[in-house]
Amino acid sequence: MTKTVHFVSLGCPKNRVDSEVMLGVALGDGYQHVDDPSEAELILVNTCGFIGEAKKESIDTIFEMARQKEAGRCKKLVVTGCLAQRHPEELAAEIPEIDHLLGSSDMMKLGRVLEGGADRMLVGTPADWLASAASPRALSTRPGSAYVKIAEGCNRSCSFCVIPELRGKQRSRAIDDVVREVGQLVARGVKEVNLVSQDTIAYGRDRPERPTLAELVRRVADVDGLAWVRVFYLYPETLTDELVELLAGHPRVVPYVDMPLQHAADGMLRRMRRGHGGARLRKVVDTLRSRVPGLTFRTAFIVGHPGETEEEFEELCEFVRWARFDRVGLFRYSDEESARSFHLAGKVPARTAQRRYRKLATLQRKILEEKNRDLVGAELEVLVEGTSDEHEFVMMGRHRGQAPEIDGQVYLSGGECAPGELRRVTITQASDVDLVGELHEQGSPAPEAPRPRAKRGQRRLPVIG
C-alpha cells in the first residue's frame, strides 16, 4: 500500500522553503502527498512562532491535525518549525498526540522519523541548518514561480523581534550554490525566482569572500530561461548603486522592493532599536522612487509598540500619505516574552492598538484603490498561475508588481492560456486588491512595466514538482 503524507505549512515564505525540503525528504522515502489529511498516514505541521496570532494559529492547527489520529488514517503527527523551536517542552507536555518535534533547523531529521525508532524530541540548535542546491525539494508553489532562500538567521537586535532566537545568526549561502539551485528550478519550468532570507540586504557579510547582494542578484538574473527575479526583505539602509541599477534597468530584475520599515517617528525607531531615524527612511524612499522606473514598493509597519504616542502614530500616518506605498503589511504589536520590548514601559492598550491599526489600514486601502484604478487600460506582462481558487472556470496570474500570495491577482478573460506562461494583458477592471485583464494573442511582444488578498497562514501543500 502507498505510504501517504499531508503537509501544512504556516507563516512566511522562508518556512515554505523548509516545508518543501521536508516534503522532498518524504517523497524520496516513497511517500505520496495527499491534499486531504484524512487520507494521510503521516501529517506534518510546520509552525510559525513569531507573534501571538501566529502561535495561536499554529496551536489550533496542531489540534485540528491531531484529531485525524482519531478519525482518519494518521498514525504519526510531526510538528516542526519556529514554534517547536521556541516551546518544545510545552508542546510535548500539553499535546500528547504529537509523536515527534523538530525545530527550525531540523528538516533533514525527518528522514530519521520516517525510518522509525526516532526519539520524540528532535529539536536542535537554530544554527544547524542552511539550505543548498543539493537539498531535496518538492515545489508547492503555483506553476512558474519558486522561492529561493539565500541565507538563514539574522544579526539584528530589533526590540520586537525574536528571529535570532528562532533562527540563529546570519548564515549566507555561496553565490555559486544559489545559482546552481536556480538553474535546477528553471529546468523544472520555473520562470520567476523570489529571493528570500531574514535580512536580505546583509547577504554575504558573514562569508569570508564577502559577496554582495548585487553580485548575487546579477548572477541569478543571468541564468538562461529565467524571466523574473524578485528580492524580498531588504533592511532600510543605504542601498548600493549597483543594486539600484539592477532594479532600475536589468530586464529580468523586477522593479519591486520589499522593505519593512516598521515605523517613521524617530522616537519609535529608537525604541525599536532600528539603528536609524525617519530621515533615512524618507531618503531611501526618495532615492528608489526617483531612480527606479515603475517601482512597486512594499513595506510593513507595527502599531502599538510600547511607548508609541498618539503624536508618533500620526507621524506614521503622515509618512504613509507622503510615500504612497504600493503595498503595506500592517501588524499590531505582539508582546513576546523573550523580546527586548517585553520589558519596556508604556505598553499600549489593545483597544488603542486596534484603533490605530484600523485607521492606518483604511488609509492604505484608499491609496491602493487609487493605484489600481490607475492601471485600468495599461498593458502588462502577466505570469499565468492557473485556475482561480474562487472560480474554477477563470484563470488567474500576476503582473510584476504583484508578489506571490500577498499582493492580489489578475483574473484573465478573452482567451486561453496555460499555467507558467508569460502573457500580455490589458487591464479592464480594478478593485482594492485584484485586477481583471483581457488576454492578447499569444506571441504579442511583452510591454514595458508601467509606473503607476492574501491571507497569511495555513497552506496545505499541493505537490507540483
- Tell whether 94 and 155 lie within a shared domain: no
* pLDDT score of 464 more than 50: no
Q: How far is CA 245 from CA 249, 296, 338, in A?
A: 6, 15, 40
Neighbours of 116 (CB within 10 A): 7
Strand locations in 202-267 (E): 228-231, 253-258
Grid cell at residue 127: 544554527
Supply the CATH number for residue 335's domain.
Answer: 3.80.30.20
pTM: 0.90
* 174/293 same-domain check: yes
In a domain, 447, yes or no: no
The predicted-structure confidence for 295-351, as pLDDT tens digits, reads as follows 999 999 999 999 999 999 999 999 999 999 999 999 999 998 889 999 999 999 999
Write the CATH number for 418: 2.40.50.140
pLDDT tens digits for range 62-82: 999 999 988 878 999 999 999
- Could you tell me the residue range of the domain that residue 431 belongs to? 379-439
Q: What is the mean pLDDT of residues 238-246?
A: 91
Which of 39, 14, 2, 18 is closest to 138 using CA atoms? 18
- Contact partners, residue 288, CB within 8 Å, separation at least 6: 239, 244, 247, 257, 295, 297
| Residue 231 and residue 176 share a domain | yes
Same domain, yes or no: 369 and 383: no
In a domain, 355, yes or no: yes
Same domain, 328 and 182: yes
Sequence-distant (6+) residues with CB within 8 A of 272 are 158, 159, 160, 262, 263, 302, 305, 341
